[in-house]
Amino acid sequence: MCLQSTASESLLEAKAERKEAPENTAAVAAWENDEKEGQRRLDQITAAMESTDFTVALQRNRLILKIQRAEKTAEALRRWCDDSQLSRESRIRLEELSIDLDAAIITAAESLNLQESSYVSGLSKGIKKDMSRDSVQNNNMVSSGKEELPICAEPLSTTSNVVLQREQHETLGVSTHKPFDLMKDGGDLISAILGQKAEDQIPNFRGGAAEYPAWEEAIAPIRYCSFRQPIMKFNAIKKSLSGEALEIVKWIGLDQPDPVEALVDALKKEYGRPEIVIRAQEVRLEKLASPKEDDYPTLRNFVIAVKSIIATMKAHGYDVEKNPQFTRQLERKLNWVLVKRWCQKRNGDTPNHLLDFLEKEAEILQKAHLLKPDVITGQRTPQVVKAKEKALIGVGNVEEVITAGSETGGVKCPKCGKNHLLEKCVKFTSLSVGARFAEAKRLGVHYRCLTKHKGNETCPIPANEQQCPEDRSCRYCHHPLLHHQRRTKEEESSASDQMEKSYICNDSAHHLELLKVFLRGPRKTILTTALIDSGCSRTFVDEDLAKDLGLKVKTAAMILQGIHGAKNVEAARVSLDIAGLTREWYSVSNATTLKKLRIPGGEVKWAEWAKDQPKFAKLPLENVSYADVRILLGQDVKELTENVCTTKVKSDDKKYVAYRCKLGWTISGPRLPSDKEAVMYCCIINDEVDHGTALLQEFRNFNSLEGLGITDKSIGLSRHETEDLEHMQNGTVVLSDGRFQIPMLWKWPGGVPPSEEQAKRRLISLQKKLRLNPRLGELYEKSIQDDEAKGYIRRLSPMEAADLRKRRHWFLPHFAVFHPDKADKCRRVLDAAARNGG
């Protein structure tokens, strides 16, 4: 069909009709009303068009009717564009949308012709020519203001159906058909296209609270599309699930009353509850990298990420504006320079005030960058390659990227002569540290900035900042690429011991069972890698990790029985919580800490390997690294590491075995072809000798033998201790309920030091703080009134206060404490540890 020619003819006829229109007020008013109504409908359709890719192939069902509606939509767009008093940019935009819509119609028509060619015989070809001729006539009739005959919306499958539709087309009168409704019919077309586009772009959801909000938003066009059947919605949504999410809804079928809502509700209960999503956003904020005061991209990305986190929390009922602890958490992400600027320029204590401050700092950095001497006005800035795109480029394409950027000019690399700095040169960075030193000396560049200049006067780095930034203990002034990390003798001996053990079974390497877990303590939650060690009777945790979690680590001498015999170690017993990636927490009550719990080895890319394995492709396997192992799961937590499914997933050759435990999926098997080094270690604890601990134990054994038969002489109580004991014995009273009342011992029997002055100073400081933060003042005052109403506290009269000061008394200052998850609950805490007089 030739839609553009038809639309042009209709446009000319519409102009002619408007010129011949009668010059009366009523006709002009009617035309203006129609024009306003058309403009309103046009805005709605244009908004949907701008977010839609019209190259998506339309469904064959009801395709003829959709083509007819699309023709009318295009004609209406051109007519409104010509008649309305729109700006030039609006007219250009509308013409572009019309052209895109024409392309979609032509593509759909060609698709329909190809589908019908396999079903319709040679006789139907002549009938289709007549139908196309009638279609052109109908378009001309519409342009001249006449009504049209509708085209059947059902698919053409046989010749008899085509003949029947042709007879209906000739017998039906013009007055029996409804005019084309742009609002209703065009909406069906756009709804169908949006639903198809959403189905093509819906992400794969494997389970997880952090990814659930984006997945729920992506399926909204399919879920609420009125143009699709429930079975189509159900299949499209379930097709996007895999892994843990698919396991949850695998028993939900089409036999339920509303299968689509049942499927979404099951996943929402598991991953979309407000408390789960909010906790996932808190973890996301903890992992967020801190911004730098002199780096515009990091500042901008930090603000965007925090705004996204705040919006997600607010959408799930958690208003961070009312929680001052959230602002403190953001402030801890800033370095010292940004904190000083924030204290100078702050206009409030809410997160939005802090984000506005960071946005202004980013704008200042962006403007300052334009004033640099090496930035040419009007020159296009080289595009920054993202981390994911950089990983896809690979080493083989690095030279092509550099060559493409050399055409814009700039500093030439003294190593390869291309347009980049020496520190970005692949040939230079691939060398060892010693080779880089020799190459820098050969090229004649400055060791600190790796550029050529004479003396330190022209170096872009100030003289007071030229010390090695990689390690402040290093006394040399050189670039971080030239820094050599020196190891101590203990580290070298430990590394040599581990190196000797790492070559035991290189030829028959077999990967151990690793999985990623969350560890939770009183202070924080940390994501790490765990090793399932079936030959260990107890769970071991790295001592530094236990301290980071906030656990109380009190070490004591213990004897550790291993495959190399017994040895004395300093260890502690701790209790912590552990969970898989699904955040289902379990308690480990009897774990043991070990110093420097490390397993040498590289990364095992199970996720990439599973993509090429049909049996393992749908399993949620993660890339793990032996260097990240910080906890060994022994037989004391066997219920957490054993298989919870009926069968295990095995490869065809039975070498690779994967199973699911309560902490997630894990896999073991031979070394992968992509492994750079073989990993098979028969020792999981560093065999290092602590000479100080061994000497101390030998000295204790010596004293225990020398002191046999010797007893300590008991020393009697002193005079003061005897008096205190008599005072407690004489003052002890047995109450009626059986409890004992014992008098307290005082260092000064006559009284206690004065404490009222110190408490008054603390009260004045607290009042100043409450005046600066009215919201905190309201909560503080409300907590006092609540305690007074409940009878926990009471006001003293002047006589009672005077009588109190005559007797022994002590004033305690107080301050406010908030729970991180309860922003509106203020708790007053009495500061019994406050010092008085030093």
Is 450 in the same domain as 496? no
pTM above 0.95, yes or no: no
pLDDT tier, 578 (very low <50, low <70, confident <90, very high otherwise):
very high
Residue 820 resides in a domain: yes
Q: What is the pLDDT of residues 696-743, one digit of tens each?
A: 777 777 666 555 555 555 667 888 888 888 888 898 998 888 899 998
User: What pLDDT does residue 598 have?
Assistant: 81
Residue 639 has pLDDT above 80, yes or no: yes
pLDDT of 684 over the 80 cut: no
- Could you give the percent of the chain with pLDDT greater than 90? 6
673 and 633 in one domain? yes
Residues 635 and 581 in one domain: yes
Asked if 784 and 776 touch (Cβ cutoff 8 Å), the reply is no
Whole-number Å distance between alpha carbons of 161 and 154: 10
Q: How far is CA 836 from CA 631, 744, 750, 760, 762, in A?
A: 45, 20, 18, 12, 11
Relative to beta strand 585-594, strand 603-604 is: unpaired
Q: Which of 614, 605, 612 is nearest to 649 (CA)?
A: 614
Examine the domain organization and report whether 500 and 639 are in the same domain: yes
Strand partners, 666: 659
Q: How far is CA 282 from CA 310, 311, 355, 526, 549, in A?
A: 10, 13, 17, 12, 16
Is the residue at 234 inside a domain? yes
Coil/strand/helix, residue 298:
helix
Residue 370 contacts residue 382 (beta carbons within 8 Å): no
Q: Are residues 412 and 535 in the same domain?
A: no
Q: What is the pLDDT of residue 732?
A: 92
602, part of any domain? yes
pLDDT of 125 > 50? The answer is: no
Q: How far is CA 627 from CA 398, 528, 597, 601, 608, in A?
A: 28, 10, 10, 6, 19
What average pLDDT does this structure show over 768-794?
91
Collapse the DSSP code of 62 into the 3-class scheme (helix H, G, I; strand E, B; otherwise coil) and give the result. Answer: coil
- Portion of the chain with pLDDT greater than 70, in percent: 61
For residue 817, which amino acid is it?
V
Note the pLDDT of residue 178.
46
> Residue for token digits 């909406």?
187
Q: Containing H/E element for 261?
A: helix 259-271
Predicted local distance difference test score (pLDDT) of residue 222: 76
Among 18-22, 104-108, 428-432, 707-711, the minimum mean pLDDT is found in 18-22
Which of 99, 4, 86 lies closest to 55, judged by CA? 99
More confident residue, 280 or 780: 780
pLDDT tens for each residue of 801-816: 899 888 888 889 999 9
Given a contact cutoff of 8 angstroms between Cβ atoms, the answer to whether 580 and 665 are in contact is no
Strand 556-562 and strand 510-511: pairing?
Answer: unpaired
* The predicted structure's pLDDT at residue 290: 83
Would you place residue 414 in the very low, low, confident or very high pLDDT band (cuts 50, 70, 90)?
A: confident
Supply the DSSP symbol for 615.
T
Residue 796: DSSP 8-state: P
Mean pLDDT: which of 134-138, 158-162, 433-437 is highest?
433-437
How far is residue 493's CA from residue 688's CA, in Å, rounded to a whole number?
8
Query: Mind listing the pLDDT tens digit for each residue in 77-93?
Result: 555 555 444 445 445 55
The residue ranking higher by pLDDT, 494 or 555, is 555
Comparing CA positions, the residue from 98, 10, 80 lying closest to residue 39 is 80
Q: Are 520 and 657 in the same domain? A: yes
pLDDT tens per residue across span 602-612: 888 888 888 88
Domain tally for the chain?
Answer: 7
Question: How far apart (Å, rounded) are the C-alpha atoms in residues 462 and 283?
Answer: 38
Domain that holds residue 676: 492-692
d(CA 689, CA 691) in angstroms, rounded, equals: 6
Ordered alpha helix ranges (H), 371-445: 387-393, 398-405, 426-429, 433-443
d(CA 541, CA 577): 12
What φ, ψ does residue 360 adopt, rounded to 5°? Answer: -65, -40
pLDDT in tens, 358-383: 888 888 877 776 665 544 444 444 44
Q: Kindly report the three-state secondary structure assignment for every residue of 275-292.
A: HHHHHHHHHHHHHCCCCC
> Are 502 and 570 in the same domain?
yes
User: Based on the domain organization, do 423 and 459 belong to the same domain?
Assistant: yes
In angstroms, the CA 569 to CA 557 distance is 6
At how many degrees (to 10) do helices 3-19 and 122-143 cross?
20
pLDDT number for residue 680: 44
Residue 271 belongs to a domain = no
Report the distance separating Cα 415 and Cα 405, nearest Å: 17
How far is residue 574's CA from residue 592's CA, in Å, rounded to a whole number? Answer: 6
Report the CATH number at residue 556: 2.40.70.10
For the stretch 194-237, pLDDT in tens is 666 666 667 788 888 778 888 887 787 777 766 567 777 788 88
> Quick check: 216 and 272 in contact, CB under 8 A?
yes
Looking at the structure, tell me whether residues 763 and 673 fall in a common domain: no
**Which has the higher per-residue pLDDT, 282 or 544?**
544
149 burial (CB, 10 Å; 0-12 / 13-18 / 19+) is middle
762 touches 813 (CB < 8 A): yes
Higher pLDDT, 729 or 74: 729
Q: Are 663 and 513 in contact (CB under 8 A)?
A: no
| In the predicted structure, residue 764 carries a pLDDT above the cut 90 | yes
| Residues 470 and 568 occupy one common structural domain | no
- Higher pLDDT, residue 26 or 826: 826
475 in any annotated domain: yes
Do 573 and 651 belong to one domain? yes
Q: Which DSSP string corresponds to 620-639? A: ----EEGGGEEEEE-GGGHH
In a domain? residue 155: no
Torsion sign, CA atoms 613, 617, 619, 621: positive
Residue 192 lies in a domain: no
- Asked if residue 750 is part of any domain, the answer here is no
pLDDT at residue 116 greater than cutoff 60:
no
Instruction: Identify whether residues 466 and 405 lie together within a single domain.
Output: yes
Distance CA 94, CA 80 (A): 9
Please give the Cα distance from 739 to 728 (Å, whole number). 15
